[in-house]
Amino acid sequence: MSRRVTLNLGFQGHLEPVTVVIPDDEPTPWLFGERFQIVGKPTPRVDGALRVTGAARYTYDISMPGMLYGAILRSPIPHARIKSVDLSSARRLGGVRAAIRMDDTVVRFAGQEVAAVAAIDYETALDALGLIKVEYEPLPFVAELDAAMKPGAPPVFESGSNVQRPTVNEHGDVTRGIAEAAAVHEAVYLTPVQTHVSLEVHGSVARWDGDELTVWSSSQGIFTVRDDLAVYFNLPHSKVRVVCEYLGGGFGSKFGAKPETVIAARLARQANAPVKVMCTREGEHLATGNRPDAIQKVRLGAGHDGKLTVLELVQHGSGGIGSGSGSAGPFLSLYHCPNLRTEETNVFMNTGPSSPMRAPGWPQGCFALELAMDELARKLALDRLEFRRLNNPNPVRALEFDIGAELYRMEGKERRAQIHGSVKTRNRRRLRGLACARSVGSASPRDRPSRRPRRGSDGHPGHRHRHANDPRDGRGGGAGRRTLAHRLPSRRHALSIFGSLGRKHDHAVHHAGGSPGRGAS
Amino acid sequence: MKHDKHGPPDSRAISRRAFIKGAGAIAATTGLIRTPPASADAAPDAQDGIVERIGPGAQTIELKINGEVKRVTVEPRVTLLRALRDHLNLTGTKLVCDRGACGACTVHLDGKPVTSCMVLALDARGHEITTIEGLLTPDRMSPLGAAFVEHDAAQCGFCTPGMMMSMAAALASNPKAQLEDVKRAVAGNICRCGTYPHVFAAALSVVRGGNRGES
Ligand code: FES
Ligand code: FES
Tell how far the Cα of B154 is from the centroid of ligand 2, in angstroms. 6
Q: So what's the pLDDT on residue A99?
A: 98
Residue A473: exposure state from Cβ atoms within 10 A (0-12, 13-18, ≥19) = buried
Q: How confident is the model at residue A444 (pLDDT cuts 50, 70, 90)?
A: very low
Neighbours of A291 (CB within 10 A): 27
Determine the pLDDT at residue A457: 33
Task: Express each pLDDT in B146-191 by its tens digit.
Answer: 999 999 999 999 999 999 999 999 999 999 999 999 999 999 999 9
- Nearest by CB: A248 against B1, B99, B156: B156
> Ligand nearest B158 Cα, by number?
2
Query: Across residues A270-289, what is the average pLDDT?
Result: 98
pLDDT band at B23 (very low <50, low <70, confident <90, very high): very low
Atom 4 (ligand 2): residue with closest C-alpha?
B191
Q: pTM for this structure?
A: 0.83
b/e code A72-109 from CB counts within 10 Å (16+ = b) = bbbbebbbbebeebebeebeebeebbbbbbbeeeebbb
Give me the total of CB pairs closer than 8 Å, taking one residue from chain A and one from chain B: 145
Amino acid sitting at position B1? M
**Start-end of H helices in A233-302:** 259-271, 281-287
Model pLDDT, residue A493 = 40
On the question of a common fold for A59-139+201-287 and A145-194+290-385, the answer reads yes
Taking the centre of ligand 1 as the mean of its atom positions, its distance from the CA of residue B97, in whole angstroms, is 5
Residue B104 has pLDDT above 70, yes or no: yes
Q: What is the pLDDT of residue A499?
A: 55
When pLDDT is averaged across residues A298-305 and rounded to a whole number, the result is 98
Q: What is the DSSP letter of B84?
A: I
pLDDT at A496: 43
Q: Which of A36-45, A56-65, A424-433 has the highest mean pLDDT?
A: A56-65
| Spatial distance between the Cα atoms of A249 and A289, rounded to a whole number of angstroms | 14
Element (H, E) at A89: helix A88-92
Q: Is the CB of B10 under 6 A from ligand 1?
A: no
pLDDT of A15 > 60? The answer is: yes
pLDDT of residue B171: 97
pLDDT for the residue A82: 98
- Which of A246 and A412 is assigned the larger pLDDT? A246
**Architecture of the structural domain at A59-139+201-287:** 2-Layer Sandwich (3.30)
Mean per-residue pLDDT for A258-286?
A: 98
- Top pLDDT among A107 and B36 is at A107
pLDDT band at A38 (very low <50, low <70, confident <90, very high): confident
> With 60 as the cut, is the pLDDT of residue A462 above it?
no
Dihedrals phi, psi of B61, to nearest 5 degrees: -125, 165
Q: B98 vs A468, which has greater pLDDT?
A: B98
The chain-wide mean pLDDT, for chain A, equals: 85
Q: Strands, E, within A210-368: which ranges?
A: 212-217, 240-243, 275-278, 290-291, 293-302, 308-318, 340-346
- Residues A340/A169, Cβ–Cβ less than 8 Å: yes
Question: A197 and chain B: CB distance < 8 Å anywhere?
Answer: yes
Is domain A145-194+290-385 given the CATH code 3.30.365.10 in the classification?
Answer: yes
Q: Is the CB of B122 under 6 A from ligand 2?
A: no
Query: What torsion do the CA atoms of A134, A137, A142, A148 make, to the nearest 10 degrees?
Result: -130
**Closest by Cα among A295, A17, A266 to A148:** A295
Could you give the domains of chain B?
33-133 (3.10.20.30), 136-208 (1.10.150.120)
Cβ of B93 below 6 Å from ligand 1: no
Determine whether the interchain pair A60/B82 forms a contact, defined as Cβ–Cβ distance below 8 Å: no
Q: Is B38 on the interface with A (CB under 8 A)?
A: no
Could you tell me the pLDDT band of residue A481, with boundaries at 50, 70 and 90? low
Q: Is the pLDDT of residue B128 over 90?
A: yes
pLDDT of residue A150: 95
Q: Is A120 on the interface with B (CB under 8 A)?
A: no
| CA dist., res. A345 & res. A317, Å (int) | 7
Chain A, 481 to 520: residues with Cβ < 8 Å from chain B are none
Highest mean pLDDT among A14-23, A382-391, A435-444, B14-23: A382-391
Chain B 113-142, residues with CB within 8 Å of chain A CB atoms? 131-133, 136-138, 141
Confidence check: pLDDT of B206 > 90: yes
- Once rounded to an integer, what is the mean pLDDT over residues B42-48? 51
Q: Are B209 and B143 in contact (CB under 8 A)?
A: yes
Cβ(B102) – ligand 1 distance below 6 Å:
yes
Q: Locate the DSSP E strands across B33-89.
A: 59-65, 68-74
Residue A277 has pLDDT above 70, yes or no: yes
Does residue B133 have its Cβ closer than 6 Å to ligand 1? no
From ligand 1's centre to the CA of B161, what distance in Å? 12
Supply the pLDDT for residue B14: 42
B 91-110 residues inside an 8 A Cβ radius of A: 91-99, 102, 104
Instruction: For residue A496, give the 3-state DSSP assignment.
Output: strand
Distance from residue A2's CA to the centre of ligand 2 (Å)? 44
Is the distance from CB of A89 to CB of A131 less than 8 angstroms? yes
Find, in chain B, the residue whose alpha carbon is nearest to that of A249: B156
pLDDT higher at A477 or A12: A12
Residue ranges per structural domain of chain A: 59-139+201-287, 145-194+290-385, 447-512
| pLDDT confidence bin for A41, thresholds 50/70/90 | confident
A-contacting residues in B 66-85 (Cβ below 8 Å): 75, 77-78, 82, 85
Type of residue numbered B97: C
Does the Cβ of B163 fall within 6 Å of ligand 1?
no
Residue A476 has a pLDDT of: 65
* B45 has pLDDT over 80: no
Task: With cut-offs at 50, 70 and 90, classify the pLDDT of residue B25.
Answer: very low
pLDDT given for residue A395 in this prediction: 87
Q: Which residues of B touch A200 (CB under 8 A)?
A: 94, 96, 156, 158
**A43-97 confidence digits (pLDDT tens):** 888 899 999 999 999 999 999 999 999 999 999 999 999 999 999 999 999 999 9
What percent of chain B lies above the pLDDT cut of 90? 70
Quote the CA–CA distance of A155 and A328 in Å, as a whole number: 26
Percent of chain A with pLDDT over 90: 66
Model confidence band, residue A12 (pLDDT cutoffs 50, 70, 90) = confident
- State yes or no: pLDDT of A464 exceeds 70: no
What is the structure's pLDDT at A306?
97
- Could you give the angle at which helices A222-232 and A259-271 cross, rounded to 10 degrees? 50
Residue A198, pLDDT score: 97
- Residue A413, Cβ neighbours under 10 Å: how many? 14
What 3-state class would DSSP assign to B108?
Answer: strand
Which tens digit of pLDDT belongs to each residue from A189-240? 999 999 999 999 999 999 999 999 999 999 999 999 999 999 999 999 999 9
Q: How far apart are the first and last CA of chain A?
A: 29
Residues of A in contact with B161 (CB under 8 A): 52-54
Q: Smallest CA–CA separation between A410 and chain B, in Å?
A: 21
Q: At what angle do helices B143-150 and B160-173 cross, to 10 degrees?
A: 130
User: Does B192 contact A130 at a Cβ distance shorter than 8 Å?
Assistant: no
